[in-house]
Structure 1
Amino acid sequence: MVRMSEQTCVIFAAGEYYGDTPIVPSGALVIAADGGLDHTRALGIEADFVIGDFDSLTSSVPHGSNTLRLPSQKDDPDLLSALKVGWNRGARQFRIYGALGGRIDHTIASIQLTALLAQHGGVGFLYGDGMIVTAVSDARLDFAARHVDSTGDARARMVSVFAHSSDAQGVSERGLKYELTDATLTNTIVQGVSNELLDERAASIDVRQGTLIVTFPSSESLPRITRHHAFTGDLGALDTTVSSALAV
């Protein structure tokens, strides 16, 4: 078992914020991705880095060495570029606002990027509309016990689990309304949707081999992550080119 404490990077993207007020932990690296700079300016938050092709930015593009302007035609989307900047500066936990809702293709891309992080030993938390979306690979998520209102809005206690890899083996869910033991989930069969946290019960979601997408209420404290082995590799260097397979 590998239990890690990760340096945090907070990324502001250009999508929906649902009226939520983002929280920036003390000492966190802050990156504004393209139109996310509009949000940091509105919130009075200073970004350490600004990155993008700035097609969604409505305010002025800042000058300076902390602004990384990307070409409009490239393989990596702005969010992946922001993740690479954070990763290459030591961040392994990413809290990402404005990457859910709005355009469905952007939402799917954001969820795929959380899986990319998980498969390299990092973790991304996507915040949106009262929920958090994350991914976990070969690891366990542990949620602390707390009071859960069983009579209020069901979304405030709802947890869902989906296989992102072709199959996810050794999946166990403990402390939830519906428990699962050593199951195999596939990415074409939905078996883990709409589970529930229980009042004053700690809960865990474990996958021995494979990658899961997990959603849970944003009112929950972020889960502790225990990885079943060490991970190697990284997200790669900042890529501003178009691959030959896509070139016209």
Structure 2
Amino acid sequence: MEANRVLIFAGGKIDPAFLEDIRQDDMIIGADRGALFLVEHGIRPDISVGDFDSVTQEELDSIKNNSKEIIACDAVNKDLTDTELAFDLAIERHAGEIVMIGVLGSRLDHTLANIQMMLRGMQHQINSVIWDTNNYVTLTGTSCEIEDRGYTYVSLLPLTTEVTGIHLEGFMYPLDDATLKMGQSLGVSNRLKGKRGTIRIESGLLLIIQSKD
């Protein structure tokens, strides 16, 4: 089965308003407690996956009874996080786009791992997005158009040692053939001038974070 867009709901904090963005042809994957969130809000996941060590037996029974498919793994003898298990399933199902929701939280190690996971999406020619109330995160190695989504800032951070040939159009602080290196804050807290802006780069990988307080 091929999926146009895959939404992964993980166990972090999720605003129920995000459920309003679900489209009829989306594939929905619940990762561990993210599956419980979906079930509790009347959404039947196409797949629920994880070790389910963060839910009670009663909650797990509810997930099993309200999911189209469930893939459970041992909590001790596994090499991948629940989110990565879900991400791998999205790749296997030939997703056109992967949107990860509830993957940014208090665990910095999990947050960074989930951000770096977007690299694997790019390696499979799949656009990946991380989305929550305060952040909308994308990744580019070429060019992209940034849409005003109601966030205040647009920050650019290198995900490689350096990113060269950066051109910004439609931003309050434009750049022309600029270079950003890891450890520099030059690309932090830019703003769109209007509803859209364009980012082009010549080399490297650029993390684009739309954010608000």
Matches within 5 A, 1:156-175: 156-175=151-170
Residues 156-211 of structure 1 deviation map (CA, whole Å, 9 limit, x = unaligned): 331001001112222221110011112222222222000001135x3111222211
Q: Is residue 2:39 matched to residue 1:41?
A: yes
Greater helix share, structure number:
2
Segments of structure 2 that go 5 or more residues without pairing to the other structure are: none
Q: 1:207 to 1:55 in 2, by over 3 A?
A: farther
Q: Is residue 2:12 matched to residue 1:15?
A: yes
Residue 70 of structure 2 corresponds to 67
Rounded to whole Å, the distance in 1 between the matches of 2:166 and 2:93 is: 33
Q: Which shifted more, 43-52 or 206-215?
A: 206-215
Match 1:207 to one of 180, 188, 201: 201
RMSD between aligned residues: 2.3
Residue 142 of structure 1 corresponds to 145
Residues 82-141 of structure 1 deviation map (CA, whole Å, 9 limit, x = unaligned): 11111111103111111012322211111111232124321221112332112222x211
Match 2:115 to one of 97, 102, 111: 111
- Aligned partner of 1:140: which letter? S
Match 1:87 to one of 74, 91, 105: 91
Segments of structure 1 that go 5 or more residues without pairing to the other structure are: 1-5, 149-154, 219-248
Residues 64-95 of structure 1 deviation map (CA, whole Å, 9 limit, x = unaligned): 88211122232221111111111111103111
Rounded to whole Å, the distance in 1 between the matches of 2:182 and 2:54 is: 32
Rounded to whole Å, the distance in 1 between the matches of 2:104 and 2:22 is: 18
Residues 188-239 of structure 1 deviation map (CA, whole Å, 9 limit, x = unaligned): 2222000001135x31112222111111159xxxxxxxxxxxxxxxxxxxxx
* TM-score of the aligned structures, taking structure 1 as reference length: 0.74
Residue 181 of structure 1 corresponds to 176
Is the Cα contact below 8 Å between 1:170 and 1:208 reproduced in 2?
yes
Match 1:133 to one of 134, 137, 161: 137
Name the SS for the 1:80 alignment partner.
helix
- Aligned partner of 2:34: which letter? G
Rounded to whole Å, the distance in 1 between the matches of 2:28 and 2:187 is: 33
- Aligned partner of 2:72: which letter? R
Q: CA deviation at 1:49?
A: 0.6
Is the Cα contact below 8 Å between 1:16 and 1:102 reproduced in 2?
no
Is the Cα contact below 8 Å between 1:157 and 1:198 reproduced in 2?
no
Is the Cα contact below 8 Å between 2:91 and 2:124 reproduced in 1?
no
Q: CA deviation at 1:18?
A: 4.5
Q: CA deviation at 1:21?
A: 2.9
Q: 1:195 to 1:51 in 2, by over 3 A?
A: same
> Which structure has more RCO (C-alpha within 8 Å, separation ≥ 6)?
1
Rounded to whole Å, the distance in 1 between the matches of 2:127 and 2:43 is: 23
Is the Cα contact below 8 Å between 1:115 and 1:164 reproduced in 2?
no
4+ residue runs of structure 1 moved beyond 4 angstroms? none
